[in-house]
Chains A and B, each alone.
With several copies, the nearest count.
Chain A
Amino acid sequence: MTTQFPLKTGKGRLFIQPDAEAGREISRRKDKRLVSKLTTVKDAVNRYIHDGDYLALGGFGSNRISTSLLHEIVRQKRKDLGLAGHTVTHDCQILAAGRCFNRCDIAYVVGLEARGLSRNARSMFEDGSVEVTEWTNASLAWRFKAAAMGLPFLPARVMMGTDTFEYSGSKEILCPFTGKKLLALPALSPDVALIHVHRADIHGNCQIDGIIMADDDIAKASKRVIITTEKIIPVEDIRREPNRTVIPYWCVDAVIEMPFGSYPANMPGEYFSDEDHLKEWLAAEKDPETFKAFLEKNIFGCSDFYEYLQINGGIEKIKLLREKEFLSN
């Protein structure tokens, strides 16, 4: 049917085929009862994340990420994961530390923005360990949105004319009304989404302060959603401010209360990123032995996230990062 469009198609592989009917079946089967979904990081990773799954990560790289889940994925040695890289920075770096993924829809990877590039993550993309399809931040955000809207595709006006398009999985189409060229972006429905929020009730209704990035659409687009939250709040608090609900409970499969759970990344209004620790991580990657020891200390040698937090300064460190967040230091 698509030969009706004498237009270009990107040659990148679609790791997830758009399928609105399959998406509908998944939404239909989600549990709509208001039941408690409280669990632990260990259990959630064990139960909901399998080798080969395609992951979407909430937040934006070094801001509001689910560090505790990412560490646990590495500890549980998940392999062959797919990754939506709509700006993944420290989160990508963590998964690269475990060499957990083998394919990636790339908008932005291996870099930590102004902080520099992750040597270890880069090596995975340079030595052929990772199959890549190229995208952009907007096109990945809109691919999630297409799935969230129950559509197989969304039109857009980016990427045309570039190699980014050539190595993407998108297609050129003509607007049925204006006859002008547009890009068609295939819906993206990840197997699992990991999202860290400010507040959630035990059912999974979530509030987020500050920018939402793409998390509302990711939650709706994904087959399974694991929420870590700074704080559990009663459902009555959700019902008091229904305008503040960003992710509704039926999207969510697991809820874990995880104060400071975005550390060492920034959590808006709570704590700033731990730049010293991020620098230490980047530096450790320069030497394989150093990096191995670093990971042993910070991930494999820790039984859980709080041990990791503790060895990096614990609550005292968080207090300093709070001060930094509120610009008092």
Chain B
Amino acid sequence: MADFNSMELMICIAARSLEDGAVVVVGTGAPCAAAMLAQKTNAPNLVIMFEAGGIAPLLPTMPISVGDSRTTHKALMASTMAEIMENCQRGLVDYCFLGGAQIDRFGNLNSTIIGSDHSRPKVRFPGSGGANDLASLCWRTMVVTPQDNKRFVEKLDFCTTPGFLNGGSSRADSGLPEGTGPYRVITDIGVYGFAPDTKEMQLLSLHPGRNTDDVCNNSGFEILIPEKYEYTLEPTEEELRVLRDVVDPLRYIIGR
């Protein structure tokens, strides 16, 4: 068994989820690392976009902002925020990667406030940024997040970004594009998907050394545990080598 930390594990799982020829909008940090890793392993034709306008750069190093000059390094196109979002709205973009302060059973995310009074929040977070847009418009939303009771909550303080809203057909009824929604939630404990009918979060695979008690005890809502689930394949030596030597040699992300 190779030695790796949870961040490395999450990045490797995320990278594997991206098939060759897919289009992904990523932010900085783990998602960007995952996309770079995918490009250098299983998905050489992965198209990486940044919401501020960068399209298909040859990333020389990890960007520090989704609008910095790395995001257009030898890019195929330097465009606008509107252009990226219109690409998403037109159905061009397969994946987006998001995080958040809170997530609920339907994959809705909160990155706006903690507290119940919107005008006087206990904590003000940055807000949607492009998260609501990407989760509304891209075909599949991927969430990469550490899992604990504070993040996995029964009720969000604020629904910044749509998952399956109230579950069932509520997302489809909302006016959001058809066939879209949360696809995978990748945590340090397991990988989750969503039940086809109720759209509740359910376990897909457990990480090495984890059990279903870890799943339950680290969530404020009940995560469905189906009779059959997988065990997450460990990162391969090759994945870890590329991630550590090529993608993030300075350990900005994987050193967290």
Q: Which residues of A contact B (CB under 8 A)?
A: 20-21, 23-28, 30-34, 59-64, 85-87, 89, 106-111, 113-115, 117, 122, 125-128, 131-132, 134-139, 141-142, 145, 147-151, 156-164, 167, 172, 180-183, 205, 209-214, 216-217, 220, 235, 238-240, 242-243, 245, 248-250, 266, 268-269, 272-273, 275, 325, 327
Identify which of B72, B120, B160 contacts A162 (C-beta below 8 A): B160
Bound Cα distance from A20 to B29, whole angstroms:
33
Identify which of B29, B55, B178 contacts A242 (C-beta below 8 A): B55
B145 is an interface residue with CB less than 8 A from chain A: no
Q: Which residue of B lies closest to A114 (CB)?
A: B28
B146 is an interface residue with CB less than 8 A from chain A: no
Bound Cα distance from A159 to B79, whole angstroms:
23
B residues near A213, Cβ cutoff 8 Å? 52-53, 67, 80-81
Q: For chain B residues 166-186, which have a beta carbon within 8 Å of chain A?
A: 170-171, 174-179
Identify which of A149, A159, A181 contacts B132 (C-beta below 8 A): A159
Identify which of B81, B162, B175 contacts A141 (C-beta below 8 A): B81
Contact call B67/A211, Cβ cutoff below 8 A: yes
Q: Which 8 A-B pairs have the closest CB atoms?
A: A24-B91, A211-B53, A181-B175, A150-B89, A60-B67, A150-B90, A161-B174, A138-B133
Q: Looking at A106, A114, A147, which has the most chain B CB atoms within 10 Å of its CB?
A: A114
Stretch of B19-27, B193-201, B217-225, B226-234 with 4 or more beta carbons under 8 angstroms from chain A: B19-27
Q: Which residue of A lies closest to B83 (CB)?
A: A212
Would you give the 0/1 interface string for B15-58, flagging 1 where the beta carbon is closer than 8 Å to chain A? Answer: 00000111100011100000000000000010100011111001
**In the complex, how many angstroms separate the beta carbon of B29 from the nearest chain A beta carbon?**
6
Contact call B53/A160, Cβ cutoff below 8 A: no
Given A136-B129, A141-B85, check contact A113 B65 (CB 8 Å).
yes
Contact call A33/B45, Cβ cutoff below 8 A: yes
Given A60-B52, A163-B160, check contact A85 B89 (CB 8 Å).
no
Given A21-B177, A26-B91, check contact A214 B65 (CB 8 Å).
no
B255 is an interface residue with CB less than 8 A from chain A: no
B residues near A157, Cβ cutoff 8 Å? 89, 136-137, 175-177
Contact call A138/B52, Cβ cutoff below 8 A: no
Contact call B86/A211, Cβ cutoff below 8 A: no
Bound Cα distance from A177 to B22, whole angstroms:
31
B residues near A159, Cβ cutoff 8 Å? 132-133, 136
Bound Cα distance from A131 to B124, whole angstroms:
13
Given A211-B79, A211-B80, A242-B77, check contact A160 B90 (CB 8 Å).
no
Bound Cα distance from A162 to B141, whole angstroms:
16
Given A156-B89, A163-B158, A220-B90, check contact A86 B76 (CB 8 Å).
no
A residues near B67, Cβ cutoff 8 Å? 59-64, 87, 211, 213, 266
Contact call B77/A248, Cβ cutoff below 8 A: yes
Contact call A161/B45, Cβ cutoff below 8 A: no
Bound Cα distance from A33 to B94, whole angstroms:
13
A residues near B122, Cβ cutoff 8 Å? 126
Bound Cα distance from A159 to B130, whole angstroms:
10
A residues near B23, Cβ cutoff 8 Å? 32, 250
Given A210-B72, A268-B72, check contact A148 B160 (CB 8 Å).
no
B208 is an interface residue with CB less than 8 A from chain A: no
B residues near A217, Cβ cutoff 8 Å? 80, 82
B243 is an interface residue with CB less than 8 A from chain A: no
**In the complex, how many angstroms separate the beta carbon of A143 from the nearest chain B beta carbon?**
10
A residues near B156, Cβ cutoff 8 Å? 163
B71 is an interface residue with CB less than 8 A from chain A: yes
Would you give the 0/1 interface string for B82-102, flagging 1 where the beta carbon is closer than 8 Å to chain A? Answer: 100110111110100000000
B residues near A32, Cβ cutoff 8 Å? 21-23, 45, 47
A residues near B204, Cβ cutoff 8 Å? none
B126 is an interface residue with CB less than 8 A from chain A: yes
Identify which of B74, B79, B162 contacts A161 (C-beta below 8 A): B162
Contact call A141/B65, Cβ cutoff below 8 A: no
B139 is an interface residue with CB less than 8 A from chain A: yes
Bound Cα distance from A125 to B154, whole angstroms:
26
